[in-house]
Structure 1
């Protein structure tokens, strides 16, 4: 019986590419997205390559859709082998000017969604004594960056959440946890993260304005030029995710490019893949 995998956020970018290459590798893929009307590109690939991919509606901000998607998989297969938490959204705005609604949205999409998707699959993985949860985080989950305090805060939370689970759920129930940390990705995610701020007029005001203009100018320039040192394609990041999934001893955390390694070096050089710290914490408490 082939392994199955639930991939969150597959309409574009990393999630779309991951759904395709996992299916090509022989996995039964459950490709979820918030709005199934955006599945045209994936449907085209499924038909073209005869891929074993089933589409599911799942909005990480709506708990009932998470439960329904996981229950669908269990009813069909009786198990769930892998979860790839890939939903996320960039956001650049000062905490002073972000509304309460925006703060909630950034946190829900980037952190709470990961928590609830993970919560939904763990009981089944624990019962079957196997599973692998791979979460796409960011270098922003390790290094705080200008105007990204809300996004980075959510990604830092994701990193701590997964690291904590790995210390006791991992070894006790044979469930693996991995966090994938890309730098820039030249997909719709990046266009949204940089472009939305400008299009919606979300420039900072007052004393923050010159700083925001400098920040956006540099980000837009790098995005437009497709800086190969900073920006990877969705497929390149998806390939790292597949490599992690296929690894016999997967890392707790992994960067996806040399640029990302250098950018986070001061945080990661003592324990690049996160396994030493998890082992130490586990010994200390358990």
Structure 2
């Protein structure tokens, strides 16, 4: 029986590549995005390879939108086997310069959206006694980074939310949870992040400006040095998504490159995939 997958944020990048790759590997994919006017590339890929993908409108910052999309899938399929929380947005700006609207936005997109999508899908997975939730988080969910503190804060929140959830929905309801933690991804995600940073056409202002310019120069240097393999492509991360989806016993955490593994080494060396920690928590509380 084909597995039904709901993926958020599929207009570009990892979501787009994951939708195509999963469909090519026998999954029925519901590819969602906030603005379906951006679905042209995905539509062309569907037609070209005759892929079993349906495009849905879903805004992760709107609970009604999430509920409507999930209802469509349940009415057609009766179940959702895999939820891939991929939708997110980068943000690089010092806390002092960020507006209230920006702080709320980066949290809504990167954290609240994951919580609400999970909340809406969980009852169906619980009733069917099976399911898998895969979250595209980031090394920024484990390691705080300069000028990314608001983004990292939201990703840390996802990591904590999913870590807590994994301690009881796995044994009780056979729902498996994995956080996929890429380093840099060479997609429109980075362009969007930098675009959100601009203040009156500048990347930073005041006393922060020279520090920020140093930070941006470092990003550009790493991007140009491909031999360091800092930045992965969307398809490379999508291949990890597929491996996790096919895994009968997936770990809580997976980094997607050697660079990401090394970058998080101090945080993860005692328990790289999170398995020991989840077991310890279960032993302590359940």
Give the TM-score band, short-chain normalised: over 0.9
SS of 2:92's equivalent?
Answer: coil
1:278 aligns with 2:281: no
Deviation string 1:238-263 (CA, Å, 9 cap, x unpaired) is: 00011001011101000000000000
Q: Distance in 2 between matches of 1:216 and 1:227?
A: 19
Contact 1:194–1:216 (8 Å) recurs in 2: no
TM-score of the aligned structures, taking structure 2 as reference length: 0.97
Q: 1:269 to 1:33 in 2, by over 3 A?
A: same
Q: Are residues 1:133 and 2:133 paired?
A: yes
Return the offset for 1:218: 1.5
SS in 2 for 1:176: strand
1:231 alignment partner in structure 2: 231
In structure 2, the residue matched to 1:209 is: 209
- Give the CA deviation at 1:170: 1.5
1:134 shift after superposition:
0.2
Partner residue of 1:253? 253
| 1:1-286 pair list within 5 angstroms | 1-198=1-198, 201-224=201-224, 226=226, 228-286=228-286
SS where residue 109 of structure 1 aligns? helix
| Gaps in structure 1 of 5+ consecutive residues | none
- Shift in alpha-carbon separation, 1:63–1:227, aligned structure 2, 3 A: farther
Spell out, residue by residue over 1:32-77, the C-alpha distance to the aligned partner (whole angstroms, 9 max, x if none): 0010000000000100000000000001111111000101010001
Secondary structure of 1:215's match?
Answer: helix
Aligned residues: 286
SS at match of 1:56: strand
- SS of structure 1 residue aligned to 2:97: coil
Which whole-Å CA distance do the structure 2 matches of 1:99 and 1:204 have between them?
A: 13
2-structure distance, mates of 1:203, 1:93: 8
Structure 2 unaligned residues grouped into runs of 5+: none
Displacement of 1:97 in angstroms is 1.1
Q: 2:222, 2:228 within 8 Å by CA — same for their partners in 1?
A: no
CA distance in 2, matches of 1:151, 1:58: 22
Are residues 138 and 80 of structure 1, via their aligned partners in 2, closer, same or farther at CA, if it must alter by over 3 Å?
A: same
| Worse-matched range after superposition: 205-214 or 239-248 | 205-214
Question: Matched residues in 2 for 1:196 and 1:103: separation?
Answer: 12
C-alpha RMSD of the superposition:
1.3
TM-score (norm 1): 0.97
Q: 1:148 to 1:166 in 2, by over 3 A?
A: same
